[in-house]
Amino acid sequence: MTEIPEHLLKRAQAAREKSAEPAAEPAAEPAAAPASDSRIPDALLKRSQAAKASKGGGEVDAAETGGGVALAEKVGAIVAAAPSSAGVPVGGGPGGHTQRLLTVVKSGSIQDVKATPVDKVHTWPHLLAAEFVAALACTAFTFLFSIFVNAPLLQLANTNATPNPSKAPWYFLGLQELLTMFHPMVAGVTLPGVGIIFLILTPYLDRNPSNKPEDRKFVISIMTVHLMFWAVLVMIGSFFRGPGFNFVLPWVDGLFFEL
Amino acid sequence: MSKTIDDKPRPTVKDRLNSAVDATQGSQAWSSIFRPGSIFRKGYTDSPRNRSYVIMNSVLYHLHPVKVKRHAVKVSYTLCLGGLSFFLFILLTVTGIFLMFFYRPEATAAWNDIQNLQTSVTFGLLVRNMHRWGAHLMVLAVFLHMARVFYHGAYKPPREFNWVIGVILLTLTLLLSFTGYLLPWDQLALWAVTVGTNMMGYTPVFGNEVRFVLLGGAEIGSETLLRWYVLHVLFLPFVIVIFMAIHFWRVRKDGGISGPL
């Protein structure tokens, strides 16, 4: 990505401010001093006039000379006026410079650069500080929660004593809930398999290039319904299923749920 | 005579401390450890160049570019979910290594080891709790991260493949959590895993074979415990780290974080 770094922008800004002050003084000068103050050395002007005079005849001579002077005047005016109008520091030595900065051609105009400037900030400290705080908060939460709530450790495993109900870990309870409605091959293998395959294929199925929510109403509704479907199933499986995996109300019959 | 020689005031403790810090930070050893631009270097100043060096000259350069899009650092955009998933993985690795010191994956020993860990190991109960809750939190964080990425349309070109990696990471996270579920070898673990593996037994065509390989036998037993232990502490972490490396690398190669909307 091409972009102008912050410190360069600052430096340019400082240079511009600095140049703004001296630029005010030379701006007054060109008005007072006519073309004779041109930065084209007098010797060169005279030489070119002489060359023109020697080349042409009488009347041509007069016209050419006039033209030459007019040209010199114009160039002088432009050169002298440049600093005040552009506000960019142009070589302003007293004797005049033989070279000057005409323009800055940015690479974008001569090369086909696809990158466009992006508003960026330094990773340190802007991102790292936020990440550090997030990690600290996460650790603190886990730590405090672990002080007050103990992980379950039930009786020693016994293959002869099936607890009622037997529940899978919470993230599989949606599947276990499906087991009550469908054949195990459908609920336990086919549906989650199809779900994962569709999840993997999502970016290849959704051909809509926009990422704006208003352009994606269809996919967003589909996904929301899908996520809610699983969330509701997991919650039913977790809190509303009791002995024999029958429907219970947690506020009536109590919780049958271990994390 | 001696009065004039000792005229210089004795250095205070603060002066001694400062000169000791200067000497340490100026030493060759110190500057060999901290690369130029490090905030621990002598005379560190907050300048744009040093801000760049902090990333460029540290191992974090593998994870973050020197600069990121301004909207990407807004907490409201990512909610830190991806980063927190990774951080929870680290937390789980650290607490998990601690637990490994006190645990034997044998049906006769496992439950007693957990019991001993909780009752007679310093901080044993706390670390086990953190491992347990951290694991549930990581499943939740990975799931929410997926939802966040979906709602931002962040899986669209050029990030399609990174979404695929992400789905694999979600699956691996679930498997890591599920394999760890069996290890305490209590009634909860045994029967939760029984329910789970029975479902996998209904895989078409080779259901029984899948179940046999997972359990290391026809029924859950000591072989299952050893098998799932190795999967949980070695195999799956190894695989997930590889996929995480690809995932993070692709985030940067695909132009950083997506958006803005």
- Is A129 domain-assigned? no
Residue-level pLDDT at A65: 42
Which of A128, A185, A211 shows the shortest C-beta gap to B202? A185
Q: Which domain holds residue A105?
A: 6-110
The number of angstroms, rounded, from the C-alpha of B53 to the middle of its chain's C-alpha atoms is 25
Integer Cα distance of A101 and A81 in angstroms: 14
Same domain, A158 and A76: no
Q: Is the pLDDT of residue B5 over 70?
A: no
Segment among A17-26, B29-38, B78-87 with least mean pLDDT: A17-26
- Is A32 domain-assigned? yes
What mean pLDDT comes out for the span B121-148? Answer: 96
And the tokens for A125? Answer: 């400290």
Integer Cα distance of A120 and A127 in angstroms: 11
Same domain, A173 and A83: no
Q: Is the pLDDT of residue B248 over 90?
A: yes
For residues B235 and B258, the model is more confident at B235
Question: Computed from CA positions of residues B240, B241, B247, B251, in that sequence, does the dihedral angle turn out positive or negative?
Answer: positive
The answer to whether residue A53 neighbours chain B at the CB level (below 8 Å) is no
Q: Is the pLDDT of residue B9 over 90?
A: no
Best residue in A4, A114, A131 for a mutation probing chain B (most B CBs within 10 Å):
A131
Q: Is the pLDDT of residue B48 over 60?
A: yes
Question: Which residues in chain B have Cβ-Cβ distances shorter than 8 Å to A212?
Answer: 153, 261
Residue-level pLDDT at A223: 94
- Is A132 domain-assigned? no
Residue-level pLDDT at B44: 84
Same domain, A183 and A94: no
**Tally of CA atoms within 13 A in the half-sphere of B13 that contains its CB:** 0
CATH (domain of A167): 1.10.287
**Total count of domains within chain A:** 2
Question: Which residues in chain A have Cβ-Cβ distances shorter than 8 Å to B153?
Answer: 210-212, 216
And the tokens for B40? Answer: 């621990």
Does the beta-carbon distance from B60 to A128 stay under 8 Å? Answer: yes
**Which A-chain residues 118-137 have CB contacts (< 8 A) with chain B?**
118-128, 130-131, 134-135
Residue-level pLDDT at A64: 42
Average model confidence (pLDDT) across chain B = 91
Beta strands in chain A (DSSP E): 120-122
Domain boundary among A83, A110, A137: A110
Per-residue pLDDT reduced to its tens digit, A111-162: 656 667 788 999 988 999 999 999 999 999 999 999 999 999 999 999 899 9
**Which B-chain residues 6-45 have CB contacts (< 8 A) with chain A?**
none
Q: B58 pLDDT band (50/70/90 cuts)?
A: confident
What mean pLDDT comes out for the span B50-74? Answer: 90
- Is A135 domain-assigned? no
**Which A-chain residues 220-259 have CB contacts (< 8 A) with chain B?**
220, 223, 227, 258-259
- In degrees and rounded to multiples of 5, residue A152 shows phi and psi of -70, 140
Integer Cα distance of B186 and B117 in angstroms: 14
If 0-12 CB within 10 Å is exposed, 13-18 middle and 19+ buried, where does residue A171 land? Answer: middle
Same domain, A17 and A92: yes
Question: Which residues in chain A have Cβ-Cβ distances shorter than 8 Å to B60?
Answer: 123, 128
The answer to whether residue A169 neighbours chain B at the CB level (below 8 Å) is yes
DSSP-derived 3-state class of residue A216:
coil
- B67 DSSP 8-state letter: E
Which domains, ranges and CATH numbers included, belong to chain B? 79-253 (1.20.810.10)
* List of chain A residues with pLDDT < 50: 27-35, 58-72, 82, 84-86, 88
Q: Is the pLDDT of residue B131 over 90?
A: yes
Residue-level pLDDT at A43: 83
DSSP-derived 3-state class of residue A154:
coil
Same domain, A166 and A101: no
What mean pLDDT comes out for the span B177-203? Answer: 91
Percent of chain B with pLDDT over 90: 66
Q: Is the pLDDT of residue B68 over 80?
A: yes
Question: Do A230 and A170 contact (CB within 8 A), yes or no?
Answer: no
Integer Cα distance of B100 and B160 in angstroms: 38
- Is A138 domain-assigned? no
Segment among A65-79, B100-114, B193-207 with least mean pLDDT: A65-79
> Which pTM does this prediction carry?
0.75
Same domain, A102 and A174: no
Q: What ipTM did this prediction achieve? A: 0.90
What mean pLDDT comes out for the span B197-220? Answer: 86
Residue-level pLDDT at A96: 65
Same domain, A104 and A196: no
Integer Cα distance of B47 and A10 in angstroms: 12
